[in-house]
């Protein structure tokens, strides 16, 4: 699985958009970008994933650059409950390789009142 | 959907003792995973089951560690002769093929 690079920490004001970047310059054509988050003392929670098109769900939007070497997770209106460590993971589709995930150290997002 | 359940939430044990953790996956999820997480680090993969078959084990899973999923439903992770380095959060996750993993809230092990 390709390696990812994320900033170790970010701050965001409550109610504003939180934009979390991820670099994955060695991504392969069959690898997806997945985002998980982990709130303190809880297990990781799936947020969203995509291959090359932008994706949106009820939690967030995922913007993938045209060359697929980087992506941004957008939380449109951050709340205090969004304070968590956000992990960007690049891997092949779920059906192959037993679906294991390789987590990095992620970005600690702190939403401030 | 009651989520992935792990028991106990916390376990304190003395070095050299054996411990066992239980994971109840989301019903009908045939894939089950164990991960370990130490402070400040992301979770690390330990092992993976599809139904009752253990299909993959990480090199992190030393011979003191054993995982089972006897009937393809709940799973247990046993650590024998615990060491202080085993202190960590042990996370369980489950999934259906082709769908994202759902994690439990983990068992925090402290070895004194």
Mean pLDDT of A50-75: 95
Question: Is the separation of the CB atoms in A44 and B3 below 8 Å?
Answer: no
Could you give the C-alpha distances from B54 to A51, A94, A98, B68, in angstroms and in order?
29, 17, 11, 8
B23 Cβ contact partners less than 8 Å away, ≥ 6 residues apart: B4, B5, B6, B32, B34, B74, B75, B76, B77, B92, B94, B104
Least CB-CB distance to B42: which of A45, A46, A87?
A87
Could you give the C-alpha distances from A78 to A19, A61, A111, in angstroms and in order?
10, 12, 7
Mean pLDDT of A95-110: 80
Contact A99 B48 (CB under 8 A): yes
Residue A58: CB atoms within 10 A of its CB come to: 5
Q: What stretches in chain B show pLDDT beneath 50?
A: none
Minimal C-alpha gap between A32 and chain B (Å)? 12
A105 vs B: CB within 8 A: yes
Longest dimension (CA), chain B: 40
Q: Report the half-sphere exposure of A85 (CA within 13 A, side-chain side).
A: 18
3-state secondary structure of A72: strand
Percent of chain A predicted with pLDDT > 90: 77
Chain B: residue nearest A35 by CA?
A: B100
Least CB-CB distance to A98: which of B56, B91, B105?
B56
Chain B residue numbers with beta carbons less than 8 Å from the beta carbon of A41 are 105
Minimal C-alpha gap between A109 and chain B (Å)? 14
Question: Is the separation of the CB atoms in B18 and B80 below 8 Å?
Answer: yes
B42 vs A: CB within 8 A: yes
Q: Report pLDDT digits (tens) over A79-90.
A: 999 999 999 999
Chain A: residue nearest B56 by CA?
A: A98
Question: Is the separation of the CB atoms in B4 and A43 below 8 Å?
Answer: yes
B102 vs A: CB within 8 A: yes
Query: Alpha carbon A21 to chain centroid distance?
Result: 8
Mean pLDDT of A66-79: 96
pLDDT of residue B102: 94
pLDDT of residue A95: 59
């Amino acid at each position: 699985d390709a390696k990812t690079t994320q900033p170790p920490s970010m701050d965001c004001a409550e109610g504003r958009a939180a934009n979390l970047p991820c670099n994955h310059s060695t991504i392969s054509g069959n690898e997806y970008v997945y985002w998980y988050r982990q709130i303190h003392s809880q297990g990781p929670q799936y947020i969203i994933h995509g291959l090359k098109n932008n994706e949106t769900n009820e939690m967030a939007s995922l913007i993938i650059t045209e060359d697929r070497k980087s992506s941004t997770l957008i939380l449109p209106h951050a709340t205090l409950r969004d304070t968590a460590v956000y992990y960007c993971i690049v891997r092949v589709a779920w059906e192959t390789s037993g679906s294991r995930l390789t987590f990095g150290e992620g970005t600690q997002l702190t939403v401030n009142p | 959907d009651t989520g992935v359940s792990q028991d106990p939430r916390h376990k304190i044990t003395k070095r050299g003792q054996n411990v066992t953790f239980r994971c109840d996956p989301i019903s009908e999820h045939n894939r089950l995973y164990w991960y370990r997480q130490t402070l400040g680090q992301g979770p690390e993969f330990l092992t993976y089951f599809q139904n009752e078959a253990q299909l993959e084990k990480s090199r992190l899973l030393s011979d003191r560690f054993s995982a089972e999923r006897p009937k393809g439903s709940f799973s247990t992770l046993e650590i024998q002769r615990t060491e202080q380095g085993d202190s960590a959060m042990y996370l369980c996750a489950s999934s259906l093929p082709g769908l994202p993993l759902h994690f439990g809230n983990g068992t925090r092990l402290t070895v004194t």
